Amino acid sequence: MTTQNAGIIGMGHAIPSGILTNADLEKIVETSDEWITSRTGIKKRHKARDDEYTSQFGSLAAKQAIERAGIDVSEIDLIVCATTTPDQIMPSTGALIQAQIGAVNAAGMDIFAACSGFLYGLTMVESMIRTGQIRYALVIGAEILTKYVDYTDRGTCVIFGDGAGAAVLGPVPEGKGILATKIKSDGRYEEQLYAPGGGTKLGTTHQTIDDGQHFFKMKGNELFKVAVRSMADISAEMLAKAGYTVDDVDLVVPHQANQRITDAVASRLGVPEEKVYSNIAELGNTSSASIPIALDECIQSGRIKEGSLVLLTAFGGGVTWGGTVIRF
């Protein structure tokens, strides 16, 4: 059986126009710009309006990615939407995006892997293109996290923002595209970052709503240690699998969880600061959308060029994590 390398051939992103600054949060919860910045690196985050929803931003990002890929929407075989904040329980947000963009020949589905969702999607789609099951796919990370944060909890409400990023994956020449990728999870760390309400365990009742069980809950100190170790270890493993070292990498694009986590992962890997991309100060943590948004920014600004070797790494609730090495 012949195989075909799979790579990113077009990207796009979309973010809400609304902005929530640290100064705005100072009026809502007991916090300060200095407290937020020193602990997270975040200065502002984008916030969707009450009448905006996840698939809208996923569709905008997808249309931009398809246009830049230079293909017709009818050529898309599969849409994978990574999200923890779907439009509704059923149908999937991927299916709703399929309808919104007119991808009549595509299957649509969701991946639920929190902040690692985009890398989960890349890993799955790469194998399908490589083995000839599909030719072109959309992998989208889309989130409206601000609808799930408790604005009385300064530990979580200062972190999350909204947005979407999308990538078109398709066949690329040998030596390019996704060279190594791996995803992992460990459900034993469930309560480090989770939202217990709304499912079949607790359901949705007046009591769960009154108790705030539908909001994100996080144990930041414990999460920090696991995140740094997991992201650094899988990054080193994927570089070795691809046959490269940290010195060969042109750019590291990590999930934008927290600037302190990014700095610690870079230090553990031995990557200089100038090779690590960060936009968390402007966008906050957009979960599964953070890596595709950052990748698109880097491509549009010229930080990623043809031939660039890029390392992606992510960590999210579940807990989940992953690493991917790509040659553009």
Among residues 5, 22, 258, 285, the one annotated as catalytic is 285
What's the token pair of residue 123?
Answer: 């890993």
CA distances in angstroms from 145 to 4, 136, 215, 312, listed in the order given: 36, 29, 10, 22
State yes or no: is 258 an active-site residue: no
| 128, 106 contact by CB (below 8 A) | no
Contact 180, 127 (CB under 8 A): no
Active-site option among 5, 81, 115, 157: 115
Active-site residue flag, 214: no
SS (HEC) of 280-299: HHHHCECHHHHHHHHHHHHH
Q: How many CB atoms lie within 10 A of CB 29?
A: 14
Half-sphere exposure of 37 (CA within 13 A, CB side): 11
The C-alpha angle 34, 193, 22, rounded to 5 degrees, equals 20
How wide is the angle at C-alpha 189 spanned by C-alphas 238 and 254, nearest 5°?
Answer: 35
| Dist. CA 266–CA 322, nearest whole Å | 15
Annotated catalytic residue, options 81, 255, 258, 298: 255
**Residue 115 appears among annotated catalytic residues:** yes
- Chain-centroid distance, C-alpha 216: 17
List active site positions. Answer: 115, 255, 285
